[in-house]
Amino acid sequence: MTKVTINLDENEKKILDKRAKKNLLSLREQVEDIIRRSCVRGMTSAAYTKVSPDDRLVHIFSREIRGRKK
């Protein structure tokens, strides 16, 4: 487990506390949940990034991921 220290304003802390109470979590658990969700979302969106090749022919004949995300 890695420890990270962050500085929050009183307003930010108040908003996070309110959100944590709504989700029945402590402030620490709420922050961990936000970070975890952000990391998971970042991993899945990496597969759908658009690649811009330098070669014009590669660009013409390459497939793009389109449609609904799986």
pLDDT at 38: 86
- Which amino acid is present at 32? E
Instruction: Specify the pTM.
Output: 0.58
Domain coordinates in residue numbering, the chain: 10-61
pLDDT per residue as tens digits for the range 59-68:
666 666 666 7
